[in-house]
Amino acid sequence: MHEPGERDAFILKKALKGAVKDQKAVTEIVCSRTPSQIGQLKRAYFSNVGSNLEDDIEAELSGEHKKLLLAFLTTSRYEGPEYDESLVEEDAKALNKAARKFGLAGKTFIQIFSDRSRAHLCAVSDIYKTMFKKTLEKALRKAMKGIGTADTDLIRIVVTRAEVDMHYIKAEYRKKYGKTLNDAVYSDTSGHYRTFLLFLLGNNN
């Protein structure tokens, strides 16, 4: 039986090198692995395929989907429980500013949600509610509304929150807005973005 990294590498090779590119398979693997698993995956891919996974995704895929996958593959996240309390507070303030000024959202969300650890993001979520008397899912809701869905920001948030505690976010969203987060995503997105986001969100419960 193959090791997990080798199995993932085999699936990715088939998904990227086939006549029809299987973006769903690539997304399911890349976006559900921890940073250490990503490292193992990239080594296994190079060993079995003979090329870098990032290079093959760059060559075979396109658009925002490609940008997302490459960012996920190249971000080195700390996996331990420690975090910097002063940085947590800075991030909470930056997210609040981004939510109020739509044009800043992309840069801010990308920096924070792609670089920070799970423990750090949980702490940001807690202090955000204390500081601003509202929860972080407001940032997600902001990304879905306004002048139109900001696909990159929305995807970035959902990927990270799915890794942290999306089940809690979904429950709070339904309680506050009277509908499920899955339903909100379904009504405000379309195409492969919708498929991708609904996959990350999981069952509608």
Q: Are residues 122 and 147 in the same domain?
A: yes
CATH number for the domain spanning 143: value is 1.10.220.10
Tens-digit pLDDT profile for residues 145-158:
543 444 554 555 55
Report the pLDDT value the prediction gives residue 33, as an integer from 0 to 100: 77
Q: Are residues 44 and 136 in the same domain?
A: no
Confirm if 193 and 151 have CB atoms less than 8 A apart: yes
Q: How many domains does the chain have?
A: 2
Report the pLDDT value the prediction gives residue 85, as an integer from 0 to 100: 92
Which of 48, 1, 58 minimizes the C-alpha distance to 26? 58
Tens-digit pLDDT profile for residues 113-168:
667 777 787 788 888 889 988 777 666 565 555 434 445 545 555 555 555 556 66
Confirm if 69 and 60 have CB atoms less than 8 A apart: no
Q: Are residues 91 and 192 in the same domain?
A: yes
Which domain, by its residues, includes 112?
A: 85-201
Average pLDDT for 28-42: 83
Asked whether residue 69 is domain-assigned, the answer is: yes
Mark which of 74, 102, 123 sits at the end of a domain: 74
Indicate the range of 50-59, 84-93, 184-193 predicted with least confidence.
Answer: 184-193
pTM strictly above 0.85 = no
Asked whether residue 80 is domain-assigned, the answer is: no
**Class of residue 12 by CB neighbours under 10 A (exposed 0-12, middle 13-18, buried 19+):** buried
- 87 band by pLDDT with thresholds 50, 70 and 90: very high
Is pLDDT larger for residue 46 or for residue 138? 46
